[in-house]
Amino acid sequence: MDDSVVSAQIRAAGVKVTPGRVRVLVALLAAAQPLSHADLEALLPDADRVTLYRVLDSLVACGLALKAVDPRGVFRFSASSTQREHSSHIHFRCTYCGGVFCLKAAPPPPPKLPRGFRLAEVEYDVRGVCASCAAHT
Amino acid sequence: MDDSVVSAQIRAAGVKVTPGRVRVLVALLAAAQPLSHADLEALLPDADRVTLYRVLDSLVACGLALKAVDPRGVFRFSASSTQREHSSHIHFRCTYCGGVFCLKAAPPPPPKLPRGFRLAEVEYDVRGVCASCAAHT
DNA sequence: CATTAAATGCAACAATGTTGCATTTGAAAA
DNA sequence: TTTTCAAATGCAACATTGTTGCATTTAATG
């Protein structure tokens, strides 16, 4: 995704266009899965830690990004426009290298819930060892 | 729940019966909602912080407690009935109260993996708002 | 260009969770 | 009952994740 397009999206969202916001949103748009603060720090080594938290919060506040907790209790961020692409995947997480792989198979249909329960999201995570890590051990 | 009953449950789970485990499990059984580490520290002021983490982990490891992440990214623990087997259930996690509910439905079969990938475990988590939290809001 | 509210960078702090290690203890064996 | 030892504990230190205060810089507007 082009920087100028991303800048326009940020401007359209009603907040200032800053280099930090552009770089973070570009990274989120390019990411295959939601990124943690630590992921983004690694991708953008020059960014200030606190500014990064604030940039992420501002993107969430203006609707350009989504914030969720992962099973480890860490916040992960995704660009709003890419969220839908990954809601219909199964993710395979390699417990050795930490990599996340999108499997082709469609996730199973959501189960029936007891009366009064409201469904928000379904997560189907498969864990194990990926092919390259399996080959190394 | 009586201490001696709780002690028996702990013994039956195959781990040592210690005062810490008994007190923590009694607290979890008496709690209306899943408790965070901070909640338990407040309930058991004499307990050592690190020991409390380890007691909770051991109860989870032997199946007596369930561990979930609340919307703030904090782990919450709840007592799980010793009769119930948790490996073949779908879990519903309430994003409001942090509660974990076991659904009756059987989990879906594991998907096909790319060549070389090794499957370790499958997690099928459904998130949303439980009936009592939905009623309150 | 001048103005100003918003954004940034830095330091310090707070909350949550983990690791290493010496000591104590539950419970099984003698 | 006493002995024994792996498991559990208590303590200190550390790690990770996220927040707050404040002085400085900057994006957008007139």
In the 3-class helix/strand/coil scheme, how is chain A assigned residue by residue?
CCHHHHHHHHHHCCCCCCHHHHHHHHHHHHCCCCEEHHHHHHHCCCCCHHHHHHHHHHHHHCCCEEEEECCCCCEEEEEHHHHHHHHCCEEEEECCCCCEEEECCCCCCCCCCCCCCEEEEEEEEEEEECHHHHHHC
B43 Cβ contact partners less than 8 Å away, ≥ 6 residues apart = B27, B35
Q: Round the average pLDDT of chain A to a whole number and report it.
A: 83
For CA atoms B47, B53, B58, B63, the dihedral sign is: positive
Q: Residue B68 — very low, low, confident or very high, per pLDDT cuts 50/70/90?
A: confident
Do β-strands B65-69 and B75-79 pair in parallel, antiparallel, or remain unpaired?
antiparallel
Whether A95 has a pLDDT exceeding 60, the answer reads no
Closest-CA distance, A16 to chain B, in angstroms, reads: 28
**pTM for the structure as a whole:** 0.72
- Comparing B56 with B72, which gets the higher pLDDT? B56
Query: Which residue gives the smallest C-alpha to C1' distance to D18?
Result: A53
pLDDT at B82: 37
Average pLDDT over residues A77-83: 76
Q: Do B124 and A119 touch (CB under 8 A)?
A: no
CA A34, distance to chain mean position in Å, is 1
Determine the pLDDT at residue A30.
94
Residue nearest D19 (alpha carbon to C1'):
A50
Q: What is the pLDDT of residue B85?
A: 44
Among A121, A126, A131, the residue with its CB nearest the CB of B110 is A126
Q: Is the pLDDT of residue B101 over 70?
A: yes
Confidence of residue B30 (pLDDT cuts 50, 70, 90): very high
B124: Cα within 13 Å, side-chain hemisphere: 19
DSSP B123: E
CB-based contact A121:A87 (threshold 8 Å): yes
Residue A132's pLDDT is 66
Q: Please list, residue by residue across B19-53, b when 16 or more beta carbons sit within 10 angstroms of its beta carbon and e when fewer do.
A: ebbbbbbbbbbebebbbbeebbeebbeebeeeebe
d(CA A55, CA A68): 16
Whether A123 sits inside 8 A of B128 (CB atoms) is: no
Residue A68's pLDDT is what?
Answer: 85
A123:B121 CB<8 A: no
Q: Which residues contact A104 (CB under 8 A, 6 or more apart)?
A: none
Nucleotide closest to A21 measured between CA and C1': C7
Token output for A58: 């501002």
Task: Assess contact for B69 and B76: CB atoms under 8 A.
Answer: yes
Q: Are the beta carbons of A124 and B101 separated by less than 8 Å?
A: no
- Residue-wise pLDDT for A9-63, tens only, equals 999 999 999 999 999 999 999 998 889 999 999 999 999 999 999 999 999 999 9
What pLDDT is stored for residue B19 in this prediction?
97
Give the mean pLDDT of A81-110: 63
Q: What is the pLDDT, as a whole number, of residue B89?
A: 62
* pLDDT given at position B96: 62
User: How buried is residue A109: exposed, middle or buried, by Cβ count under 10 Å (0-12/13-18/19+)?
Assistant: exposed
What integer is the mean pLDDT of B103-110? Answer: 72
Rounded to a whole number of angstroms, the distance from the CA of A1 to the nearest CA of chain B is 29
Q: Would the pLDDT of B86 be above 60?
A: no
Q: What percent of chain A has pLDDT over 70?
A: 77
Please state the rounded mean pLDDT for residues B80-98: 59
A57 CB inside 7 Å of strand D:
yes
Interface of B with A (CB under 8 A): 69-75, 90, 92, 95, 101, 103, 105, 108, 110-132, 134-135
Report the C-alpha gap between B118 and B131 in whole angstroms. 38
Q: Would you call A92 and B117 a contact, using CB atoms and an 8 Å cutoff?
A: yes
B-chain residues near A118 (CB < 8 A)? 128-129, 134
pLDDT for position A99: 55
